[in-house]
Amino acid sequence: MFLRKISNEKYHEYNNITDALFLGHLPKKSPYLVAIIGAGGKTTTLLNLSKELSVAGKKVLATTTTHMQAPKEWNIILSNDEKEIIKRAKETHLVIAGTPGDRRGMKLMSENVFKNVLPNFDFCIYEADGSRRHPIKTPAAYEPVILPNTDLLIVCTGVSAIGDTIENACHRYELSSYQRDEIITPQIAADIIKKGYGNYSIPTVFLFNQADSKADTKNAMLAAESFESVIISSYELRSGA
C-alpha cells in the first residue's frame, strides 16, 4: 500500500512505489539519479524501487555513497571492475554494484568507474545515508552524501519511531533539540525530519515507512501534515485493505 499526497490534496492510493513516485515513464533526463536518505526503510525502498523499474524495462544501477548491507540473494558486483558492470548492464536490467564494505556490506565504487558506467543506465538509485537501523535520524553536518546532478531525494522515516523515546529511536539523538527520554510524537517526528532534511533545493519526497496498521497510518498522516510531498507506505498491507 502506498498513499501519496502533494500539498493540500487528498491522499491517493497506489499499488507500488514506482507509481507513487510518478516514475512509471522514463524521465527526459537519463540517467535519472534518485538518492534515498534519512532512516527507517532506506534499503527496502531502494531494492523495491530498483526491482520495479527494472521489471518495467528500465536499466537500473543500484548502489550507495555510504555503506549498505548487501542483500545475499542478489547477484552483486563487489569490485571496481568497470568492464564487468557495463557487461552486466547489457545482459540484464538491474545491476547492484559497489566495493566491499565492513560487515559484509558494500560502499561506492571509485569516482572514475561510477562516471564511466553511469551512461549505460536509465536510473541510478542510491542509498546516501546511514542510521544504524534506527527509524528516525538527526543527520550530522557531513550527512547525507548526495551526488552532483541528483534529480530526486526520498527521505525515509519509520513510523515505529512514534511512541518511542528519542534515545531509543533516533540516530544521533544528541544532535536533536530534545531530551533523551522524551517520547516522540507525530509533531516531534515532523520537527526532527524537517530540521534535518527540509532545506534541499532538490525535489524531495518524504516517505513514511512501516505504516502497517490503522494507528500507524494515522500517526504518519499527523506527522506528514506540514510536508509538501508525502508517501505513506506499508509492505504488509495490500492496497484496498
* Per-residue DSSP letter, 178: S
pLDDT in tens, 29-87: 889 999 999 999 999 999 999 999 999 999 999 999 999 987 777 789 999 999 999 99
Computed over every residue of the chain, the mean pLDDT equals 93
Q: Categorize the per-residue pLDDT at 237 as very low, low, confident or very high, splitting at 50, 70 and 90.
A: low
Backbone angles phi, psi at 128, to 5 degrees: -125, 20
Q: What pLDDT was estimated at residue 27?
A: 65
User: C-alpha cell of 57?
Assistant: 524495462
User: C-alpha cell of 238?
Assistant: 495490500
Gyration radius (Cα) of the chain, Å:
18
Q: What pLDDT was estimated at residue 178?
A: 97
Indicate whether 21 pLDDT > 50.
yes
Q: What pLDDT was estimated at residue 14?
A: 95
Coil, strand, or helix at residue 182?
coil
